[in-house]
Structure 1
Amino acid sequence: MSRREYEYLYSIYIIAGTAYARLTDIARSINVKPSTALEFLGKLEKKGFVEKRPRRGYKLTHEGLSRIQDFIRRHRIAETFLVKELGYDPGIACRLASEFDIYLPEDVVNRICEKLGHPSMCPHGYPIPPGSCSCSTMERKRWFQ
C-alpha cells in the first residue's frame, strides 16, 4: 500500500473509528478537495478497503481496519524504538518513523517489539495495537471491534 492510501484509511479511522465518515470531513483532514477525495476513495473501495453508503459516507471494511491497525502498530513501534534505543525526542522520532514505517516487514516489527519488551504505549501515550508476537487472540479481537 502507498503512504497516500494509508493517509486516507487513517483519516477515516480517526474521524469515525468503525463508523461512517463523511466525504467532506475526510477531504478536510487530508487537505484535499472533496472531488479529489471522492476519486481516491473510489479506488480504495475497489480494492476492498472502504465501503461507501449513500448519505452516510465511507467506512473501513474489515480488511481496511486490519491494514490501518497494522500501519499504526508499525509506526508506533518504530517511533518507540527511536526514542528508547536511539534517544530521539518523541516529536522527531514520530517524523522520522513516518519516513520508513510503511516499509518495515512484520517480522522486523515483531523483533523490534520483542527487543523493546512488547510496549503497550508509544512515546506520545497512544496505545500500540497488539501484534502476532505479543498478544492473545482475545486481545487482537478487542482491537478489531
Structure 2
Amino acid sequence: MPDATSVHPIRLLGVRDTPLRLDEVYAAVGDAAAGGTALFVGTVRGHDGGRPVTTLEYSAHPDAESGLRRVAEKVAADFPVRALAAVHRTGRLAVGDIALIAAVSCPHRAEAFAACGRLVEDLKHDVPIWKHQIFADGDEEWVGAC
C-alpha cells in the first residue's frame, strides 16, 4: 500500500464507456494510514417509481471529468481523506450493470462513510452526467444530473 503522505489523496477518477471494476477502485484507495474504507456501488435497478425499467443510457458532458475532479477535491479538502476514487459509466446499461463506483479511505470509519456519502451526493448533483431511462412499456425519460 502506498504511504499516504507521499501520494495525492485523489487516486482514480473517470467517466468511462467500458464496464467498471470493483477491484480497480478498491485497490486505488488502499492506504496504510486508513482505518476505514467506504465503498459505494450504484447499479441499474429494474424499476423507478414502481415502473419497470429495461435499460438506462448515461450521457456525459465533455467537461464531466473536470466536474468530477472539482467534487473530489472539495471532499478531500473537507474530510481527512487518505485516498479517494470515483468512476462513472456512460453508454447503454442493462438492469444489474454497475453505473458508479465511489470509494474513500480515511483514518476512521465514520469519516470514511461521511466522505463517501458526500462524494456520491455531490457527484449526482454537480457533475454533468444525464440518465435516459427506458421503461418496459416503451416510455422514456431523461433525468437531470446523475
**Fold agreement, TM-score > 0.5:** no
> Which structure: greater strand fraction?
2
- Where relative contact order (Cα < 8 A, 6+ residues apart) is larger, the structure is 2
- Please give the TM-score of this superposition, normalised by the length of structure 2: 0.29
> Which structure: greater helix fraction?
1
- Please give the TM-score of this superposition, normalised by the length of structure 1: 0.29
